[in-house]
Chains A and B, each alone.
Chain A
Amino acid sequence: MLKVSELLKMDCFTVKNLPEGGGDREIGSIYCCDLLSIAMSKMTEAAAWVTVMSNLNTLAVASLSDVACVVLAEGVAVEEAMLQKAVQQEITVLWTELPIFDAALKIQKAFEA
């Protein structure tokens, strides 16, 4: 069992938005893809979704898919409007300088630990 709160403790991840209870969400799977309609159909509930796609549509898909958290990789820019929507939709958003694979691998290692 890996909770989102475990990721928050890791140096490589920065919190962009953490709704109430967001840290307590259990991560069910780790998923990587930037194309929204592929992500939408493949992601299972409570995924930790690692992507470089940083926009409002990412959050719409995240919300409809009930992800545990969105992890924005490669140090992508996060716009204010996106943060506002994350707050409003209560979506946990983390951010990292790491590439997608490395970020997902960190989560996977924590998952296995």
Chain B
Amino acid sequence: MSDSIKMTYTVSDTDFTRAGEASSDVKKRLRQMGCDPEVIRKVAIAMYEGEINMVIHANGGEIEVEITPEDITMVLKDKGPGIPDIEKAMQAGYSTAPENVRALGFGAGMGLPNMKKYSDEMNIETTVGVGTTVTMKVHQ
């Protein structure tokens, strides 16, 4: 078990119907690898929320996932509008999700708080007008 596995996913810009496919795939792989169910749950929640945010708020992007015996690292990169006030965005309940997206069940303003809660390490780099990179790590 010394190898590390790397995967790259393209997250489509506005296709809500496909959102979640990358997280599903990672979940499936972790299962096949016999990973601890609690670790799988943490990765699935954190990554799904990040993936959905890329679709809703940032016109899609790219996700890189690396699995090692020590941890699972997810890097979610987008070229969206960026987040002007991270502290505010991190607050539970804060959301700028538009009405059409809320009608689908999004917009509780719980995505980023969930990502923080379920990942063991999280870092957000964002520049307004340039994009956002969220890096999350879950320990095995």
A98 and B107 CA atoms in complex are apart in Å by 26
B105 touches which of A58, A64, A65 (Cβ 8 Å): A58
> Which listed residue (A45, A56, A60) contacts B48, Cβ 8 A?
A60
One of B16, B49, B107, B118 near A56 (C-beta < 8 A): B16
Fill in one digit per residue for B67-83: 1 if any A CB lies within 8 Å of its CB, else 0.
00000000000000000
Interface residues on B, range: 20 to 34
Select which of B19, B23, B52, B110 is within 8 A of A41 by beta carbon. B110
Interface size range on A against B? 20 to 34
Instruction: Confirm or deny: B114 has a beta carbon within 8 angstroms of a beta carbon on chain A.
Output: yes
B92–chain A nearest beta-carbon distance, Å: 10
Contact B107 A40 (CB under 8 A): no
* Distance between A4 CB and nearest chain B CB, rounded to angstroms: 20
- B111, closest chain A residue (CB): A37
Complex: how many Å from CA A36 to CA B114? 11
Proximity bits, B84-109, A CB within 8 Å = 1, else 0? 00000000000000000000111111
A40-B19 contact, Cβ under 8 Å, with A55-B105, A58-B105: no
Q: Is the CB of B48 within 8 A of A64?
A: yes
How far is it, in angstroms, between the C-alpha of A41 and the C-alpha of B27 when the chains are bound?
Answer: 16
Residue B24 interfacial (CB < 8 Å): yes
Q: Which B residues lie at the A interface, using CB under 8 A?
A: 16-17, 19-20, 23-24, 27, 37, 41, 44-45, 48-49, 52, 104-111, 114, 117-118
Q: List 17 A-B contacts (CB under 8 A).
A: A35-B107, A37-B49, A37-B108, A37-B110, A37-B114, A45-B37, A53-B105, A57-B19, A57-B52, A58-B105, A60-B19, A60-B24, A60-B48, A64-B23, A64-B24, A65-B44, A89-B24
- What are the 5 A-B residue pairs with the smallest beta carbon separation, nearest first? A60-B20, A35-B108, A37-B110, A53-B105, A36-B105
A residues contacting B by CB (< 8 A) are 34-38, 40-41, 45, 51, 53, 55-58, 60-61, 63-65, 81, 89
